[in-house]
């Protein structure tokens, strides 16, 4: 019998199992947090793009006229304003027509692939086509828009809401803009993205 054979004792194996368990307990939550943060990048990126498009929209209508009437065969001045939409910008399962997707459950712990028609519906007064903004790739957040006022009273709010881990706690990304006047010169301004529960 060869007594020089060596192997691992049960204690050594148990120590290895414990070490692997500790590493897994640390690594898995960190990985999940990293995944959620990467998904949150979608909302930040899109709200940044929407803000730039809205500034351009206002600048392209660069006067403070208040005549909203346009008759066929005539011309009129454009009204300096952000796109109008009376919806409140909230996460919702029903209600606001500007929400894409319309039901927030469609992005809870999953992704939603919007159709072009989700963003453009002139009969319903949806503003996305005026901005213009649309996404036809899978999204993990619900987007909404509110715009009101004309000329120097014009303002907007755009939001992105999500529940990427399906725990019914929502992360909220909001961006607001308004017109600021100084010494007779008025210009559109867009604030920073305000975040609540970024990683839920």
Q: What angle do CA 106, 54, 113 make, to 5 degrees?
A: 20
Q: Give the containing element (helix H, strand E) for 70.
A: none
Element spanning 39, H or E = helix 10-60
pLDDT, tens only, 17-72: 989 888 888 877 777 776 666 778 899 999 999 999 999 888 887 654 445 555 66
129-136, long-range: CB < 8 A, 24+ apart: 130/57, 130/83, 131/50, 131/53, 131/54, 131/57, 131/83, 132/53, 133/46, 133/49, 133/50, 133/53, 135/46
Q: Tell me 123's DSSP state.
A: G
Q: 173 - beta bridge partners?
A: 160, 195
- Rounded Cα distance, 107 and 102, in Å: 10
How many Cβ atoms from other residues are within 10 Å of residue 133's Cβ? 20
- Residue 4, pLDDT score: 64
Q: Tell me, what's the pLDDT at 150?
A: 82
Candidate ranges 5-14, 104-113, 175-184; pick with highest mean pLDDT: 104-113
- DSSP, res 197: S
CB 119 within 8 A of CB 134: yes
The pTM assigned to this predicted structure is 0.76
Task: Name the average pLDDT for the chain.
Answer: 82
Sequence-ordered list of residues with C-beta below 8 angstroms from that of 172, at least 6 positions apart, any chain: 91, 159, 160, 161, 195, 196, 197
Burial of 168 (0-12, 13-18, 19+ CB in 10 A): exposed
Does residue 41 sit in helix, strand or coil? Answer: helix
| Burial environment of residue 73 by CB neighbours within 10 A (0 to 12, 13 to 18, 19 or more) | exposed
For the segment 129-148, the average pLDDT, to the nearest whole number, is 91
């Amino acid at each position: 019998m060869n007594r020089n054979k060596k192997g691992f004792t049960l204690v050594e194996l148990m120590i290895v199992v414990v070490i692997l368990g500790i590493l897994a307990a640390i690594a898995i939550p960190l990985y999940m947090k990293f995944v959620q943060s990467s998904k949150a990048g979608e909302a930040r990126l899109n709200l940044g793009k929407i803000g730039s498009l809205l500034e351009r929209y206002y600048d392209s209508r660069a006067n403070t006229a208040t005549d909203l009437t346009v008759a066929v065969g005539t011309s009129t001045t454009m009204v300096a304003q952000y796109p109008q939409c009376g919806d409140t910008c909230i996460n919702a399962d029903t209600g606001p027509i500007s929400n894409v997707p319309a039901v927030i459950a469609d992005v809870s712990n999953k992704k939603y692939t919007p159709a072009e028609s989700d963003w453009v519906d002139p009969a319903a007064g949806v503003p996305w086509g005026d901005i213009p903004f649309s996404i036809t790739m899978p999204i993990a957040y619900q987007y909404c828009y509110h715009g009101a006022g004309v000329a120097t009273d014009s303002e907007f709010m755009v939001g992105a809401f999500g529940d990427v881990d399906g725990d019914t706690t929502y992360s909220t990304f909001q961006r607001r803009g308004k017109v600021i006047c100084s010494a007779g010169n008025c210009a559109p301004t867009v604030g920073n993205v305000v975040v609540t529960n970024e990683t839920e």
